[in-house]
Amino acid sequence: MRADENEHVEVHEIRGFVSADLTGALKEAQAVARGTKCRQFLFSLSLSPPPGEAVPVVAFENALARIETKLNLGGQPRAIVFHEKEGRRHAHAVWSRIDADTMTARNLPHFKRKLRDISRALYLEHGWTLPRGLMNSEARDPRTFTLTEWQQAKRMGRNARDLKEMIRECWAASDSRAAFSEALEARGLILARGDRRGHVAVTHEGEVLSIARYAAVKTKDVNAKLGPAETLPGVEEARVRMARDMDSTRQRLIQEAHDRMAAAFRTLDRERQEVTQRHRADRAALKESQRERWDTETRARSDRMSRGLQGFWDRLTGRYARLRHQNEAETYAALCRDGDERDTLILTQMTERQDLQARIQNARHHHAEMLREIESDRTQGETQRQDNPGPWRYTENARGRADSGLSLGL
């Protein structure tokens, strides 16, 4: 519900609660659960379609209806919230597990398997590309990140996806520990021995990344390719070495890359805020115009129904039933019309936001490429230094980028 982290937030439905707001509904569920021994009295999940897909509200509602039936949560109090961020729309739903009639919690046996089956069916029905994790229950989607991975990337000012793809590329391109270590060092990482996690990579910021987690492979496969971790340098030793390698020129270049990234993102973030505010204003205007139109149409339908003796006569002649049927049909048509208008506006706005997000992603990738290039220059310089012993230092070319080469010290 945080507007500072999400561009658009909408409480779509609160059902089965006395309270009409989300916080009150959740507190109500908590109060009911106190009359039972159940500790996990809520069940929540999120529906996240693939990026770039235009999914109407009715598709989300149908999916949640299938989930309710499959998990035996039908008729339970429920809340649904939509939120949008970075051009993607998600739905979050939460149910109270407490059955008010029996004051017991609804059982949810094998809910993970059932949800996976529904997810697979939804992907197939919509014609979306099936993730590997849904093709094979043992395959893990490498695009997902744990909280630890996300926090590490955030501390370093990097993108979690870039870090993960970098280590996975090194893993896939290496057939031995020596090759893997060399590939990591070419990207500014040092293979080391972790305190509890076995094989790890140490970044120049001093962060420790688990090889198994970031390469999305099993620990036994890591041990088979890299051998025992006991022979590797410890984390502190790797950090000392990394600090020694980070000379002043390289630090300046990395800082310059970060400054350029910050400048680019300030411009993009201003544009993102302007787009968000404009989209919010357009949605508020549509909501108000639909409310006014709904009130006008409701009064018109109400005025059709006669009262008093004429109303009694209309009931006898059947005119009342015909008008009631007409009003119900028009009300349903108006609901569908308003929903279609909201979906059209939202999906149009999402297309605009996705175009902006593509530019943000390009800026992130460009920043990551700059950092990789700096690391590559350092590695090439180390190689030249080993092949040609003698006075050596970083020099700068006309573009202001560091080149590694020999200096005669003249």
pLDDT, one tens digit per residue, over 308-318 is: 889 889 888 99
CA distance from start to end of the chain:
64
> And the tokens for 276?
């968000």
Higher pLDDT among residues 370 and 333, named by residue: 333
Does pLDDT of 390 surpass 70?
A: no
Alpha-carbon gap, residue 50 to 363, rounded angstroms: 22
The pLDDT, as a whole number, for residue 164 is 81
Residues 6 or more apart whose Cβ sits within 8 Å of residue 402: 249, 250, 253, 374, 377, 394, 395, 396
Average pLDDT in the 383-409 region? 35
The pLDDT, as a whole number, for residue 393 is 33
Pairing mode, strands 402-406 and 88-96: unpaired
Alpha-carbon gap, residue 103 to 101, rounded angstroms: 6
3-state SS record for the chain: CCCCCCCEEEEEEEECCCCCCHHHHHHHHHHHHCCCCCCCCEEEEEECCCCCCCCCHHHHHHHHHHHHHHHCCCCCCEEEEEEEECCEEEEEEEEECEECCCCEECCCCCHHHHHHHHHHHHHHHHCCCCCHHHHCCCCCCCCCCCHHHHHHHHHHCCCHHHHHHHHHHHHHCCCCHHHHHHHHHCCCCEEEECCCCCEEEECCCCCEEEHHHHHCCCHHHHHHHHCCHHHCCEHHHHHHHHHHHCCHHHHHHHHHHHHHHHHHHHHHHHHHHHHHHHHHHHHHHHHHHHHHHHHHHHHHHHHHCCCHHHHHHHHHHCHHHHHHHHHHHHHHHHHHHHHHHHHHHHHHHHHHHHHHHHHHHHHHHHHHHHHHHHHHHHHHHHHHHHHCCCCEEEEECCCCCEEEEECCCC
Q: How far is CA 352 from CA 83, 264, 338, 357, 366, in A?
A: 16, 19, 22, 9, 22
Q: Please, are residues 75 and 38 in contact by the beta-carbon 8 Å criterion?
A: no
The pLDDT, as a whole number, for residue 29 is 93
Highest mean pLDDT among 22-36, 49-63, 174-188: 22-36
Does pLDDT of 391 surpass 80?
A: no
The pLDDT, as a whole number, for residue 403 is 36
pLDDT, one tens digit per residue, over 1-41 is: 777 778 889 999 999 999 989 999 999 999 999 989 898 99
State pTM to two decimals.
0.55
Which backbone phi and psi does 86 adopt, to 5 degrees?
55, 40
pLDDT band per the 50, 70, 90 thresholds, residue 291: very high
Does pLDDT of 141 surpass 50?
A: no
Average pLDDT in the 232-250 region? 79
Pairing mode, strands 190-193 and 88-96: unpaired
Average pLDDT in the 65-81 region? 94
Does pLDDT of 127 surpass 80?
A: yes
Average pLDDT in the 113-117 region? 91
The pLDDT, as a whole number, for residue 246 is 66
The pLDDT, as a whole number, for residue 378 is 57
Average pLDDT in the 397-408 region? 32
> And the tokens for 379?
């590695």
pLDDT band per the 50, 70, 90 thresholds, residue 152: low
Average pLDDT in the 53-64 region? 90
The pLDDT, as a whole number, for residue 155 is 63
The pLDDT, as a whole number, for residue 354 is 87
Alpha-carbon gap, residue 95 to 55, rounded angstroms: 22
Q: Which of 168-177, 287-296, 383-392 has the lowest mean pLDDT?
A: 383-392
Alpha-carbon gap, residue 24 to 20, rounded angstroms: 7
Does pLDDT of 69 surpass 50?
A: yes
Average pLDDT in the 317-341 region? 93
The pLDDT, as a whole number, for residue 410 is 24
Does pLDDT of 166 surpass 80?
A: yes
* % of the chain beyond a pLDDT of 90: 37
**Mean pLDDT, the chain, integer:** 81
